[in-house]
Chains A and B, each alone.
Chain A
Amino acid sequence: MAIMFRTTKALESEIDEYLDDVSQGALVFVQGVKNYMNENKSSFETHLKTIDKLEGKADSLRRKIENDLYLHSLIPEHRGDVLGLLESMDDVIDTAKVTLNQFDVERPYIPEQFKNRFVELAETTSKAAEAVVLATRAFFKEVKLVKDHLHKVYFYEQEADKQSDQIKRDAFALEELELCQKFHLRYFALHIDTLADMAESVADRLSIYTIKRTI
């Protein structure tokens, strides 16, 4: 019995740690985007490394959690749901990492008037990711609060859509840019926006799982 209690306790803190990592990943992502826009190269590199580490750690934590859930046959009713939830949550931090990496590899040219708007977009998507992390925490700890967080996820996702759409329209309307540069701007607006889309797909799963979490 004591062993089971210890396993439960350990798993609880592992899930918390995992969600911390995803949330932190979203924050680091915003900082990275800001650094790129401000052309603060060394800080950008540091954030790139941090998010890489966070993603790796989150991955191994997720595997351990999944393994322990099956090994000790815990939460038989919700095991599949929790696994799906953690895996789709993994896509959130993955997207953050990949996007930041793409900035590093492709070094897109961002005209001055677009820099702030990219930062704003990154902030909105990050807020969606943070809200979904809170919703997930609530799913485990206080299920009736899940809805309070979910509506924020949907709100920020729509905001991010609008912002990225505007960036694309303005980029293509600008005559002094080459077509390839316009494509690049559109491409990065899309990449950053994907983070909010990922958060939304986690939210969609959560809203169903929450209904299932009644006795």
Chain B
Amino acid sequence: MIFIFLTSGLFLGWSLGANDAANVFGTAVGTRMIRFKTAAIIASIFVVIGAVVGGAGATHTLGKLGAVNAIAGSFIVAFAAAFTVAWMTRLRLPVSTSQAIVGAIIGWNMFSGSVTDTGSLTKIVSTWVLCPVLAAAFAMLLFFAFRGALDRINVHLLKMDFYTRIGLVLVGAFGAYSLGANNIANVMGVFVPVVPFEPISVYGLFTLNSAQILFFIGSLAIGLGIFTYSYKVMDTVGGGLLKLSPVAALIVVLSESLVLFLFSSEGLEAWLIGHGLPSIPLVPVSSSQAVVGAVIGIGLAKGGRGIRFGVLGEIAAGWVSTPIAAGILTFVSLFIFQNVFNQQVSKKVEYCISEPVIEHLQDEQLPVENLRQFKDVVYTNSIHFSSIIEKDAQLNTRQAYQVIEASRVTPMYIDEGLISTEVDTHWFSPGQVQALRQLVSKKFKYHWQLEQALQAQTDEWKQKPKTKENKLFNKNIEKKLNQLYRIFTVKTQEEH
């Protein structure tokens, strides 16, 4: 059964390759600086390396699809996202695979009655505006800088061609590496805990663990997508929107990677903060949006002539319709899958405001008086629950979200066996693991109870005051806690 579910992950990988490879090599292929076949080979190799080597860090997170709590649900969500992206690829439009996934997850949330974090929605919409604008600004700046520099230093036509080509290959290879490393968790992440692969040794040189084997297979699917179907979108990015010169093609990919690096790199943020420098605010960025923005930036720098606004309009329409279509498709497919094929597409989650929850919320400075009327009532639909709380307890959306998070019942049992098999001791500090061991055989009903129990054992589980310097530290603690919740949540009968 797991292998059938795996197919939709592979389909998503294929779609990702077919669409997103254009962000990396579209301009190079469109200007005929690199042959499609050469680009496809370079992109595939680096996607595989990126997924297997760089994607390893992502095994801690299951990717965005991890939010979906039943494997059959993940199957549908991945399938709907993949189908939407494949359809957009057919229409030659560069779209964001991430947004298709988020759209599909929102569809699942609607179906399963889970509250959608409004952050996801704002993130999608702000990416449409912010990311292309930033990329366009960078492309314009780089364009003028390049033009000024090339006027001063005289490079032979053929040498210029050589340097541009090398630049395109290097930036492209790096882009393909990041593509593999950042997206493999979305393609294969959900299957990491369930695949039955044994680690294999490659000629005694290195060993691939089961997650890496899975990521390798996923990246092959991405590579296949690049080879078989990515030419159309590459053509749109590299020539359909604006006729680009080879140097402009390089400027486009350079500004795209700069925007992605500066505005989404946690590593850079940590480095800047660590050196006492002002950090750049992290904004949601997507390579598809960045590449289109950068091409438009070049067009504007050239005086705005030559931009095909018809194509631009189609692309913009594609961006809006991708998450919506993925969401609707997911909703409909889930309905069919659940009712026709009798598959469990979402696990029932219970919400119960018990006395400990009220005490906890009181500690969090929430007005709890009005919540007592809901005490010990079990709800299963968080959307419904949220609207009742907002209305009857007179809380705002943020506070209601907090109440729902706190009252979600997640029965956990700290199993000694799971500590030694599932907890990554390289990632967790010895003190953190020690604290966890102290809790062996304990049961928890709510996730924050485990958090509090851990914090009672050691300060290493405590979050630091919310300052800029501590942001990454706190984020890391949160990631580790989420990992623990996943590991120790008691599995229900049908999951075994």
B399 within 8 A of A: no
Question: Which of B116-124, B147-155, B176-184 lies at the binding interface?
Answer: B147-155
Asked if A76 and B147 make an inter-chain contact with CB atoms under 8 angstroms apart, the answer reads: no
Asked whether A215 lies within 8 Å of B33 as measured between CB atoms, the reply is no
- Minimum CB–CB distance from B253 to chain A (whole Å) comes to 14
Among A54-62, A137-145, A152-160, the one that faces the other chain is A137-145
Q: Are B150 and A140 in contact (CB under 8 A)?
A: no
Q: Given A75-B161, A140-B157: A215 and B248 within 8 A (CB)?
A: yes
A4 to B154 Cα, complex, angstroms = 20
> What number of residue pairs across chains A and B have CB atoms under 8 A from each other?
51
Give complex CA distance A214, B156 in Å.
Answer: 13
Q: Is the CB of B147 within 8 A of A214?
A: yes
Q: Do the beta carbons of A73 and B35 come within 8 Å of each other?
A: yes
- Of listed B150, B156, B161, B245, residue having the most chain A CB within 10 A: B161
Looking at the complex, which one of A77, A140, A143 makes contact with B246 (CB distance below 8 Å)?
A77
Q: Which chain B residue shows the least CB distance to A215?
A: B247
Mark the stretch among A5-13, A17-25, A29-37 that contacts chain B: A5-13
**How distant is the Cα of A156 from the Cα of B72 in the complex, in angstroms?**
81
Closest to B161 in A: A75
A205 at the binding interface (Cβ < 8 Å): no
Q: Is B166 an interface residue (CB 8 A)?
A: yes
A140 to B35, CA, bound (A): 24
Q: Is the CB of A1 within 8 A of B166?
A: yes
Within 8 A of A (CB), among B139-163: 143, 146-147, 150-151, 154, 156-159, 161-162
Judge whether B31 is part of the interface by a CB distance below 8 angstroms. yes
Residues of chain A lying within 8 A (CB to CB) of residue B35? 73
Q: Which of A54-89 contact B (CB under 8 A)?
A: 73-78, 82
Cβ-defined partner of A76 (8 Å) among B150, B156, B158, B246: B246
Task: Give B94 Cβ to nearest chain A Cβ, in Å.
Answer: 22
Chain A: minimal CB distance from B207 (Å) = 32
CB distance from A51 to the nearest CB of B (A): 28
B156 and A215: CB pair below 8 A?
no
| Complex alpha-carbon distance, A54 and B281, angstroms | 65
Give B301's nearest chain A residue, CB to CB: A215
- Given known pairs A4-B165, A12-B159, the reply for A142 and B247 (CB within 8 Å) is no
**Interchain CB contact under 8 A, A8 and B162:** yes
Closest chain B residue to A139, Cβ basis: B157
Q: Are A141 and B156 in contact (CB under 8 A)?
A: yes
Report the separation of the CA atoms of residues A144 and B151 in the bound assembly, to the nearest whole angstrom. Answer: 8
Docked complex: B158-199 residues within 8 A CB-CB of A? 158-159, 161-162, 165-166
B157 in contact with A76 (CB, 8 Å): no
Residues of A in contact with B, size category: 20 to 34
Q: Do B157 and A75 have beta carbons less than 8 Å apart?
A: yes
Asked if B475 is at the interface (CB within 8 A of a chain A CB), the reply is no
Given A144-B151, A215-B143, A215-B245, decide whether A78 and B32 contact each other with a Cβ distance below 8 A: no
Q: Which residue of B lies closest to A76 (CB)?
A: B32
CB atoms of B154 and A141 under 8 A apart: yes
Which residue from A1, A12, A215 sits with its C-beta under 8 Å from B158?
A12
- Determine whether A49 belongs to the interface, using a CB cutoff of 8 Å to chain B: no
Contact with B along A128-152 (1 / 0, CB 8 A): 0000000000011111100000000
* A74 CB contact (under 8 Å) in B31, B154, B158, B251: B158
Chain A residues, Cβ within 8 Å of B150: 215
CA–CA, A74 and B248, complex, Å = 16
A73 to B154, CA, bound (A): 22
B246 smallest CB distance to A (angstroms)? 6
**Docked complex: A166-215 residues within 8 A CB-CB of B:** 213-215
CA–CA, A82 to B156, complex, Å?
Answer: 13
A15 and B158 alpha carbons, distance in the complex (Å): 10
A77 to B162, CA, bound (A): 13
Q: Which residues of A contact B151 (CB under 8 A)?
A: 144
Check A8–B147 contact: CB distance below 8 A: no
Q: Which of A8, A77, A144, A214 contacts B31 (CB 8 A)?
A: A77
Please tell me which one of the listed residues B154, B157, B159 contacts residue A213 in the complex, with CB atoms under 8 A apart. Answer: B157
Contact of A5 among B143, B147, B162, B246 (CB under 8 A): B162
Q: Within 8 Å CB of A77, what residues of B? A: 31-32, 245-246
A–B Cβ pairs within 8 angstroms, 21 of them: A4-B162, A4-B165, A8-B159, A8-B162, A15-B158, A73-B32, A74-B158, A75-B157, A75-B158, A76-B31, A76-B32, A76-B33, A76-B246, A77-B245, A77-B246, A140-B158, A141-B157, A142-B154, A144-B151, A215-B147, A215-B248
Q: Which 5 A-B pairs have the closest CB atoms?
A: A76-B32, A215-B247, A142-B154, A8-B162, A75-B161
Extra 16 A-B pairs, beta carbons < 8 Å, given A5-B162, A141-B156, A215-B251:
A1-B166, A4-B162, A8-B159, A8-B162, A12-B158, A75-B158, A76-B33, A82-B157, A139-B157, A140-B156, A140-B157, A141-B154, A141-B157, A214-B147, A214-B245, A215-B147
Interface residues of A, Cβ cutoff 8 Å to B: 1, 4-5, 8, 11-12, 15, 73-78, 82, 139-144, 213-215
